[in-house]
Chain A
Amino acid sequence: MILALHDYWSERGCVILQPYDMEMGAGTFHPATTLRALGPDRWNAAFVQPCRRPTDGRYGENPNRLQHYYQYQVILKPSPPDLQDLYLGSLAAIGVDMTKHDIRFVEDDWESPTLGAWGLGWEVWCDGMEVTQFTYFQQMGGFDMKPVAGELTYGLERLAMYIQDVDNVYDLRFNDAGVSYGDVFLENERQMSAWNFEVADTDTLFDSFRKAAAECERSLAAKLPLAAYEQAIKASHTFNLLQARGVISVAERQAYIGRVRDLAKASCAAWMEKNGWAA
């Protein structure tokens, strides 16, 4: 499936990238999306990104909620006029039969308070299941998009469940030799859910949040926006872990989100400046 998507988007002019080697909550955090979405240059890329969402952990007991899963992300700047058709073509390419399935574009405005970003678009439903987030970015890091980029984020496990017609993500066939998704990931989900919710040391996490924030600022001072942005990603993930541990109050939550947003915005601003782009 991933290969089919790589083929499809590569034929349509996308560079095929590899996953970013850091923990992040969504493919949008990949610098190839966040930073490359800024500025006037054309940019078309596709890649797989593992995502970690600690609060979505269900100890392996939910048929389709995971704290670690894979997204396939496509970013096209400027957004092409036939983006919806291109997207539907990609579904056909991975074997979705649109005469038997109900594909729908349901309003879902995307907003990432931690990236200072928002866009309008839809969640794409296949028979009632959200399989893709389809967004026209309007702002990133607090900057207006000039031009607007289109972003497609496929939920790979969910799509695979459709194509293989299974009810439970852990029953997905990982290969033709009898290895299932559960064989690969079930124990990981159990252990990581327990660590995220119960074990992770909160003092260490608080400390690591502070250090990432400080390191981000040092990197900004050294005019290294890419390095600074990596630290912003790190702070964001640490914040997600603290949330899962339930140690951040409602009032504090806003303050932490604001802190991560400031780091991400400053990284974006430094990236704009480095490239000589005006806001």
Chain B
Amino acid sequence: MTDFLLELRSEEIPARMQAKAREDLARLFAAELAKAGLSAGALVTYATPRRLALIARDLPLATEAVSEEVKGPRASAPPQALEGFLRKTGLSREQLVERDGVLFAVTQRPGRATAEVLAEAIPAIIRAFPWPKSMRWGDASLSTESLRWVRPLHGIVALFGEDIISTEIADIASGATTYGHRFHHPGPITIGSANDYVEKLRACHVLVDQDERAAIIRGRAAALAVEAGLELIEDDGLVAENAGLTEWPVPLLGRFDADYLSVPPEVIQLTARVNQKYFVCRDASTGALANAFVCTANIEASDGGAKIVEGNRKVLAARLSDARFFYDTDLKVPLADQTAKLERIVFHEKLGSVADKVDRVAKLARWLVEEGVVGTPDLADRAERAARLAKADLVTGMVGEFPELQGLMGGYYAAAQGEDAAVAAAVRDHYKPVGQGDDVPTEPVTVAVALADKLDTIASFFAINLEPTGSRDPFAIRRAALGVIALVVDNHLRLVIRQASMSVILKQVIEDLGRPASETAKRLRDSVSDFGGEAVYAVANKMIEEAAGAMRELRKDVLKIAVLISMNLTGFFAERLKVQQKEAGVRHDLIDAVFALGGELDIVLLLARVRSLQGFIGTEDGANLLAGYKRAANILKKEGHAALTGAAMAYTPEPAEAALLAALAAAEPAAARAVAAEDFEAAMAALATLRAPIDGFFESVTVNDSDPAKRAARLDLLARVRAAVHTVADFGKIEG
């Protein structure tokens, strides 16, 4: 068993691609081995900015010999058959083996040297490598067919044990030579085998193992902060990125001018992280952002890093100076004035500008508050105001520079410009929740705007038939729907989706369908000037009649289409809700049992029902009622008894029958009352009283009586049981 080392050395590989590249290298290598019937004991991969490496442990020296047997004719077969078989296999009669009167051709395929397999695998892996972006370079790029790699590829180390696996691709021959750190050790190094690779490079200032580099960055950055009396704001993404940018990471702490702390801390943190890949620190006692940063150099500088820190401080100062320029400039313009510029930003070509969207959202937010869906009616003005300002920061300099600060900056500007605190908070948080795990707003004004914004997006795109399909969801409608569900559930909002979305849908449908009519009107107007005298009346009259006919048709279409779209939208929400509940671990059959009842999509109510049902079905009463229900439903199904016939009972009921009748007479109104009061526990309790009478009924009463009147009445009784149970949930959907 022997170890194999492969190193592909190139110019700097983007940090964000290195993790995936390691996976791809392992996968492609394993696949090439598997094709030859080989597998390695263990595969380890490494990535630095300048190299991608793999070590495969315990490979055999050769693949195993394989013996292949092909069945031929019987020994007694006519000579033509034998001749044909010999021609096919290329063997002579003497080479065939006879067994039980049948001839076999047996060929021994010898094992292949693993070295040979590897020599072929290397170029195959390089050619097949799925870099997200790749390039051509150098003299060879005169042809567009030249080798592609993420950046120019310079060297291949391929060692099987201590032997070089000789191979070549695009004039790069494999060998045992690599290079160390670009500045600390620029000369060539000879690698002996997989066993000394990591240590030889370490001696040349290259830490091949990305996890080791990450650990150094994480540990040293935190320690530097502590030494400065601060606390590092941890950021795993930054750790990984800096590990991908360095072969010899050296974290260094620097300070920036405390005056810049007047810029919002999120802005400082963002510009430090995104533009410069720096960590920032907080004051351990107050939690406030401190005027310190930690950068990660790729070198042990001869002056201990003094010049590096100084240089990085200057760059950060310039960035912060720019941020402050944007911040101060933006602060001078009232948000309300900025909103005028939203008319110039297209939201969607069929849905108008962002200003149009803002207007819809403002009205919807007001409606949600006035209807009592969110908060109390006295908040309506604030909800509308917040909605009207919510998107204004999209045209500010700061959000232009850092789009991810949308909302947050608007919140800062609104507060600084003297807007009501609830309004500023709503501007800041109205995009929330952005994804699972994000904070769900609870302040009523914020909730109203957040809900209105998302509902408008969803309803608008449904209205122009751009709802998500399959895996395509370019406008993030599903995410918006999950946001709505989270807002509704966390705040216990009694929101009927159909009602809240209807006005948005109607307006859009009218606009869509009204376009031909308004174009007719325009044509009409334009053509009037083309005629003189009396003839103009006749022409105008004819065209007006045409237009009026089109409008009448339109009225029918608008209502029909709007209703269809709203049903479609409700179905979509129901589907999202089911998916979300299933992911949260709720039994899907219970969800189906509640959803099967139909009716309005009132998320809070539906979930309350599901919860009560889940509790009830776990009790003995619940389980028995379910069994009784199923028996009743089966009989009804078998007899084709779909609905109550209401046939009068013209005989004296048996005692068990009378008991069930009495129980139903008590349970039906009790369950109905409880459902109306949205007390599903009580409704379930009412139904539970049916359990014993149902059991008794099935024990002593024959449904299928020879007297058709009795039979009909008893089936009706079972149908009543089914209907009573259905006031809570369709038990037929419940499993077990």
Residues of B within 8 A of A122 (CB): 12
Chain A residues with Cβ under 8 A from B316's Cβ?
128
> Which residues of B have CB within 8 Å of A99?
183, 299, 301-302
From A62, A101, A161, A251, B308 is in contact (CB under 8 Å) with A101
Q: Is A50 interfacial (CB-CB < 8 Å)?
A: no
Smallest beta-carbon distance A186→chain B, Å: 16
Mark out the residues of chain A between 231 and 269 whose CB falls within 8 Å of any chain B CB in the assembled complex.
249-251
Q: Does B644 contact A (CB under 8 A)?
A: no
Q: Of A106, A128, A250, which contacts B312 at CB under 8 A?
A: A128
Contact B142 A147 (CB under 8 A): yes
Which of these, B14, B49, B314, B322, contacts A129 with CB under 8 Å? B314
Q: Assess the A65–B322 pair: CB atoms within 8 A.
A: yes
- A79 & B137 in contact (Cβ 8 Å cutoff): yes
Contact B276 A148 (CB under 8 A): no
The reply to whether A101 and B142 contact each other, CB–CB distance below 8 Å, is: no
Encode contact with B along A78-93: 1 for CB under 8 Å, 0 otherwise.
1111011000000000
B298 at the binding interface (Cβ < 8 Å): yes
Whether the Cβ atoms of A100 and B303 lie closer than 8 Å is yes
Given A105-B11, A106-B245, decide whether A146 and B315 contact each other with a Cβ distance below 8 A: no
Chain B residues with Cβ under 8 A from A150's Cβ? 137
Number of interface residues of B (CB under 8 A): 51
B312 touches A64 (CB 8 A): no
Query: Would B138 and A249 count as touching, CB distance under 8 A?
Result: no
- Are B144 and A128 in contact (CB-based, < 8 A)? no
Q: Does A13 contact B (CB under 8 A)?
A: no
A121 to B134: give the CA distance in the assembly, Å.
11
A167, CB-defined interface residue at 8 Å:
yes
Q: Which residues of A contact B135 (CB under 8 A)?
A: 119-120, 136, 138, 148
User: Which chain A residues in 51-109 approach chain B with CB under 8 Å?
Assistant: 58, 61-65, 78-81, 83-84, 98-107, 109
Task: Report the separation of the CA atoms of residues A236 and B345 in the bound assembly, to the nearest whole angstrom.
Answer: 22
Evaluate whether A120 and B301 lie within 8 angstroms (CB atoms) in the complex, with A63-B317, A107-B14, A128-B295 already known.
Answer: no
Q: Tell me how many residues of A have a C-beta within 8 Å of chain B.
A: 46
Contact B345 A249 (CB under 8 A): yes
Residues of B within 8 A of A107 (CB): 12, 14-16
State in angstroms the CA–CA spacing of A126 and B312 once bound together.
9
A104-148 contacts to B (CB < 8 Å): 104-107, 109, 119-122, 126-129, 136, 138, 144-148
> What's the minimum C-beta distance from A80 to chain B, rounded to whole angstroms?
7
Which residues of chain A come closer than 8 Å to B346, judged between CB atoms? 249-251
Query: CA of A50 to CA of B311 in the docked complex: distance in angstroms?
Result: 25
Which residue of chain B has its CB nearest to the CB of A85?
Answer: B186
Q: Shortest distance in angstroms between B352's beta carbon and chain A's nearest beta carbon?
A: 12
Any A CB within 8 A of the CB of B133: yes
Asked if B318 lies at the interface with its beta carbon under 8 angstroms from chain A, I say yes
Residues of B within 8 A of A146 (CB): 141-144
Does chain B have a CB within 8 A of A162?
A: yes
Q: How far is the CA of A175 from the CA of B192 in the complex (A)?
A: 55
How many residue pairs link A and B with beta carbons under 8 A? The number is: 131
CA distance A63 to B317 in the complex (A): 9
Distance between Cα atoms of A136 and B140 in the complex (Å): 14
Q: Report chain A residues within 8 Å CB of B139.
A: 78, 147
Chain B residues within 8 Å of A129, by CB:
311-312, 314-315
In the complex, what residue of chain A is closest to B183 when comparing beta carbons?
A: A98
> Of the candidates A79, A98, A119, A121, which one forms a contact with B138 in the assembled complex, judged by CB atoms under 8 Å apart?
A79
**What chain A residues lie within 8 Å of B152 (beta carbons)?**
79, 81, 83, 136
Structural contact, B325 and A61, CB atoms closer than 8 A: yes
Interface flag for B71 (CB, 8 Å): no
Look across to chain A and name the residue whose beta carbon is closest to the beta carbon of B303: A100
CA distance in complex: A250, B344 (Å) = 7
CA distance A144 to B312 in the complex (A): 38
Whole-angstrom CA separation of A60 from B337 in the bound complex: 27
**B276 close to A64 (CB less than 8 A):** no
Determine the distance from Cα of A147 to Cα of B133 in the docked complex, in whole angstroms. Answer: 18
Cα A30 to Cα B334 with chains together (Å): 42
Contact with A along B24-58 (1 / 0, CB 8 A): 00000000000000000000000001000000000
- Interface members, chain B 260-313 (any A CB < 8 Å): 276, 278, 295, 297-299, 301-303, 307-308, 310-312
* Interface residue? B641 (CB, 8 A): no
Assembled-state Cα–Cα distance A34/B173 (Å): 34
Whether B136 contacts A101 by the Cβ 8 Å rule is no
Q: In the bound complex, do residue A100 and residue B137 qualify as a contact, i.e. CB atoms below 8 Å apart?
A: no
Pair B49/A105 contact, Cβ less than 8 Å: yes
Assess whether B720 is interfacial by the CB under 8 Å rule. Answer: no
Chain A residues, Cβ within 8 Å of B702: none
With a cutoff of 8 Å between Cβ atoms, the chain B residues found around residue A63 in the complex are 314, 317-318, 321
* Cβ contact within 8 Å between B322 and A62: yes
Task: Quote the shortest CB–CB distance from A277 to chain B (angstroms).
Answer: 12
Option from A105, A106, A144 in Cβ contact (under 8 Å) with B144: A144
**Interface contact B344-A100, CB-CB below 8 Å:** no
CB distance from A93 to the nearest CB of B (A): 16
Interface contact B303-A78, CB-CB below 8 Å = no
Decide yes or no whether B151 CB sits under 8 A from chain A: yes
Contact B12 A101 (CB under 8 A): no
Contact between A167 and B317, CB atoms less than 8 A apart: yes
Known: A78-B142, A99-B301. A128 touches B311 (CB 8 A): yes
The residue on A at minimum CB distance from B13 is A107
Q: Are A250 and B345 in contact (CB-based, < 8 A)?
A: yes
For the complex, what is the distance from the CA of A89 to the CA of B346, rounded to whole Å?
A: 49
In the complex, what residue of chain A is closest to B11 when comparing beta carbons? Answer: A84
Contact partner of A102 (CB less than 8 A), chosen from B297, B317, B318, is B297
Which A residues lie within 8 Å of B151 (CB)? Answer: 120-121, 136
Tell me which of B136, B276, B297 has the highest count of chain A C-beta atoms within 10 A of its own C-beta.
B136
B32 → chain A, closest Cβ, in Å?
27
Interface centre among B138, B276, B314, B345 (most CB of A within 10 A): B314
A64 to B319, CA, bound (A): 9
Once bound together, how far apart are the Cα atoms of A151 and B147, in whole Å?
A: 20
Are B183's CB and A127's CB within 8 A?
no
Q: Is the CB of B314 within 8 A of A167?
A: yes
Contact B307 A100 (CB under 8 A): yes
Q: Are the CB atoms of A62 and B299 closer together than 8 Å?
A: no
Q: A122 vs B10: C-alpha distance in the bound complex, in angstroms?
A: 14
* Chain B residues whose CB sits within 8 angstroms of the CB of A62 once the complex forms: 318, 321-322, 325
Structural contact, A58 and B311, CB atoms closer than 8 A: no
In the assembled complex, the Cα of A161 lies from the Cα of B314 at a distance in Å of 10
How far, in angstroms, from A122 to B140 measured CA to CA in the complex?
Answer: 21
CA distance A78 to B146 in the complex (A): 13
Q: How far is the CB of B642 from chain A (nearest CB, A)?
A: 57
> CA separation between A158 and B15, bound complex, in Å?
25
Q: A234 to B322: give the CA distance in the assembly, Å.
A: 29
Q: Is the CB of A148 within 8 A of B141?
A: yes
Complex formed: what's the CA distance from A103 to B186 in Å?
14
Nearest-neighbour CB distance to chain A for B618, whole angstroms, equals 55
CA distance A193 to B314 in the complex (A): 23
Cβ of B134: which chain A residues have Cβ within 8 Å of it?
Answer: 120
Q: How many angstroms between the C-alpha atoms of A6 and B10 in the bound complex?
A: 29
Interface centre among A65, A81, A106, A127 (most CB of B within 10 A): A127
Contacts A78-B139, A79-B137; A127 near B308 (Cβ below 8 A):
yes
Binary interface encoding of chain B residues 396-408 relative to chain A, with 1 for a CB under 8 A from any of its CBs, else 0: 0000000000000
**Distance in Å: Cβ of A234 to nearest Cβ of chain B:** 26
Contacts A79-B137, A106-B12, A136-B151 given; 9 further ones with Cβ under 8 A? Answer: A84-B11, A101-B311, A102-B311, A120-B135, A127-B312, A128-B276, A138-B135, A147-B136, A250-B345
20 A-B contact pairs sorted by A residue (CB < 8 Å): A62-B321, A62-B322, A62-B325, A63-B314, A63-B318, A78-B141, A79-B152, A99-B301, A102-B308, A103-B183, A104-B245, A120-B135, A122-B12, A126-B311, A128-B295, A129-B312, A144-B144, A145-B136, A147-B140, A249-B345
Interface residues of A (CB under 8 A from B): 40, 58, 61-65, 78-81, 83-84, 98-107, 109, 119-122, 126-129, 136, 138, 144-148, 150, 161-162, 167, 249-251
What 5 A-B pairs have minimum CB-CB distances, sorted nearest first? Answer: A127-B311, A107-B14, A249-B344, A105-B12, A128-B312
